[in-house]
Structure 1
Amino acid sequence: MVEHFAQGVWTPLVACAVSVLGAFLGLRYASRALSSSGRTRAAWTALGGLSLGGAAVWSMHFIAMLGFRVPGTPIRYDPLLTAASAAVPVVVMTGALAVVVARRWRRLVVLPVGGVLVATAMLTMHYMGMASMRMDAAMAHEPLFVAGAAVVALGASGGALWFVGKRWTLSATLLGAGLLGCAVSAMHYIAMAGVRVEAAGAPGHAASGGVPALAFLTPMVIGPGAFLVLGTLLLLVLPDERPVTGEAAVP
């Protein structure tokens, strides 16, 4: 038996909030990339990939995992595999945004192909994160829940790419970020609902190696929080290069 909300409702709420804020910044960065060119466009695109893949997906996962507990079985994490799981969604999301922003291919081709790639990266990140767990227990994932998470991940990925350059208004971006952040959170908890763990060792015995789960608390909360605050300030300070055509530009 496992617990998904061992720290109470605060863990899923904070995880979802970070995902929504990360999605919001990612969409705004992408819109800035569309109105820029050269190195400026590349910088905004990279920030968008970092925000969507890093904060909205990766940080959400590990913040949510602070509420995961197997009674009597301490959990540790492999640092190298955990770091690798962060690179996957960031790199793929940045690449997908670069293709969409470049507008060199038709959206009817880019959106489905990009959506599948990003969804695959999201799922890969999730299960790499799960594989990074070190505990004296056997873990299995039920195929039905894996398939359900894949469907939600595909919808979230397609939505993220569709909103890039499709809606300029602040209200529309807030709506898109809310939908995307909630979808990422839903994908995570659908996948986690299919986790089955069978303890193998004596109660209280932890597998060797790795870092204790609570050691992730500071970087998973303070790190993304600082990035989101600084990212918001960056949008407010730097002007939007997009021409104003009947509608006021928003940060």
Structure 2
Amino acid sequence: MSDLLPQGWMTPSIAYAISVIGAFLGLSFAARARRTTGFFRWQWQGLAALALGGMAIWAMHFVAMLGFSVPGTALRYDGPLTAVSGVIPVVATVLALHLIVRQATAVRLLASGVLVGVGIIAMHHVGVVAMNVHGTMHHDPTLTAVSAVIAVVASTVALWCARQLQGPPAILLASAVMAAAVTATHYTSMAGMHVVPPDFTPVSPPDGAKAWDLLLPVITGLFVLLLICSLFLLLGDDEENERRDYSRASHRAAEHTVGSEDTYTPRHGAPSEPRPGDDVWTRRR
């Protein structure tokens, strides 16, 4: 037995909003990675992986787990395993972006979607294993399989958006769809999990930290990540605007120079062809 929504829809709404923000930042960084090369491409890919894997996927999962409870027993979390569950989607996302940013073939896109989908499922189940509870946890195979399919499809669509979309409106729409799919993956899998209480009556809570004890570090990390991502987005926009203005000025200068050479007209008009018998050195009346 378990309670999936003890606080109603407040926790899922907050988790979904965090996922939308992370997806928007990640897809924006991926769009910049397409337009750069070398070190700067790796920089944007790394930021995109942190935003997508760390915020849109893992942070959404962690916040959603705050709304999960098992009646009659306390929940505790293993700190190291929880941290490992946060690293998994980041690594999977950065590898997937590396595959599709330079060459987005259908095979690469599908492989990247599967890679990120497996990363999401692995993150989810490692996070569930990190949850200590008095009792035995069981998972519904059908709902687990459905959640895996949703994860792979959502990841493939998100990576396609990262490779194709440009402009804030399109990226925002894609972020909302991706966040909905990630949230659906989590709650579909959690709906198939139930806890069988133990035969004995526990006298103390299980080992591990409370979720609220981990909440402050998570919120601090998310705030710092959001601040860094926003700073990079602003600096990236300034650099692109300066580069665009410079190229336009150079283009105008080049056009002016070329046009001056091609359309130069002498001050006293274009010389006419001399007629037979005229002295070319005689001023014409």
* Fold shared, TM-score > 0.5 on shorter chain: yes
**Cα distance between partner residues in 1 of 2:85 and 2:67:** 19
> 2:60 is matched with which residue?
60
Question: Are the aligned partners of 1:7 and 1:66 in contact in 2 as well (CA < 8 Å)?
Answer: no
- The whole-number CA distance in structure 1 between the counterparts of 2:189 and 2:29 is 29
CA RMSD of aligned residues (A): 1.7
Alpha carbons of structure 1 residues 204 and 166: separation in structure 2 relative to 1, 3 Å: farther
Q: Deviations over 1:14-40 (max 9, x none)?
A: 100001110110000111111111111
Shift of 1:125: 0.3
Q: TM-score under structure 2 normalisation? A: 0.80
Q: Secondary structure at the match of 1:42?
A: helix
Q: Secondary structure at the match of 1:211?
A: coil
Q: CA–CA distance in 2 between the matches of 1:241 and 1:34? A: 14
**Residue pair 2:46, 2:94 contacting (<8 A) in 1 also:** yes
CA contact under 8 A between 2:78 and 2:209: conserved in structure 1? yes
Q: Supply the distance in 2 between the matched residues of 1:118 and 1:47 (Cα, whole angstroms).
A: 16
SS of corresponding position for 1:71? coil
Task: Map residues 123-142 of structure 1 onto 2, 5 A cutoff.
Answer: 123-142=121-140
The answer as to whether partners of 1:63 and 1:221 remain within 8 angstroms in 2 is no
Contact residue 58 and residue 125 of structure 1 kept, 8 A? yes
Contact 1:74 1:204 in 2 (8 A): no
Using the TM superposition, give the Cα deviation of residue 228 of structure 1 relative to its aligned residue in structure 2, in angstroms.
Answer: 2.3
Deviations 1:194-222 (CA, angstroms, capped at 9, x unpaired) = 01101114256422x31112212223334
Distance across 2 between alignment mates of 1:213 and 1:72: 17
Query: 2:214 aligned with 1:216, yes or no?
Result: yes
Are 1:143 and 2:141 counterparts? Answer: yes
Contact 1:145/1:194 (8 A) holds in 2: yes
Q: Give the corresponding residue for 1:11.
A: 11
Fraction of identical pairs, as percent: 41
Displacement of 1:8 after TM fit?
3.2
> Residue 24 of structure 1 corresponds to which residue in structure 2?
24
- What does 1:82-93 correspond to in 2, within 5 Å? 82-93=82-93
Give a deviation string over 1:127-181, Cα, whole Å, max 9, x none.
0000001111100110011011011101110011101131112111001000001
Deviates more, 1:68-77 or 1:1-10: 1-10
**Which residue of the partner structure matches residue 184 of structure 2?**
186
Point out the structure with max Rg over C-alpha.
2
SS at the partner of 2:164? Answer: coil
Structure 1 segment 104-115 matched on structure 2, within 5 A: 106-115=104-113
Deviates more, 1:77-86 or 1:5-14: 5-14
Specify the alignment match of 1:248 in structure 2.
none
> What residue identity is the alignment partner of 1:162?
W
- Higher relative CO (Cα under 8 Å, sequence separation at least 6) belongs to 1
Does the 8 Å contact 2:82/2:126 carry over to 1? yes
What are the Cα deviations for residues 27-58 of structure 1, in whole angstroms up to 9, with x where unaligned? 00111111111111111100101111110111
Q: Tell me the TM-score normalised to structure 1 length.
A: 0.90
Q: Does 1:206 align with 2:205?
A: yes
Task: Provide the C-alpha distance between the structure 2 equivalents of 1:156 and 1:98, rounded to a whole number of angstroms.
Answer: 18
C-alpha distance 37-21 of structure 1, shift in aligned 2 (>3 A): same
Structure 1 stretches of at least 4 aligned residues deviating more than 4 Å after TM superposition: 240-244
- Structure 2 equivalent of residue 2 of structure 1: 2
- Unaligned runs of at least 5 residues, structure 1: 245-251
CA apart distance, 1:97? 0.5
Contact 1:73/1:205, CA 8 A, preserved across alignment: no
Q: Is the 8 A contact 1:73 1:204 kept in 2?
A: no
Alpha-carbon distance between aligned partners in 2 of 1:89 and 1:144, rounded to the nearest angstrom: 23
Contact 1:152 1:183 in 2 (8 A): yes
SS of the residue corresponding to residue 134 of structure 1 reads strand
Note if contact 1:32-1:241 (Cα within 8 Å) is conserved in structure 2.
Answer: no
Q: CA deviation at 1:229?
A: 4.0
Does the 8 A contact of 2:89 with 2:116 survive in 1? Answer: yes
CA positional deviation for 1:226:
3.7
Cα separation, 1, equivalents of 2:19 and 2:10: 14
Partner Cα separation in structure 2 for residue 218 and residue 8 of structure 1: 22
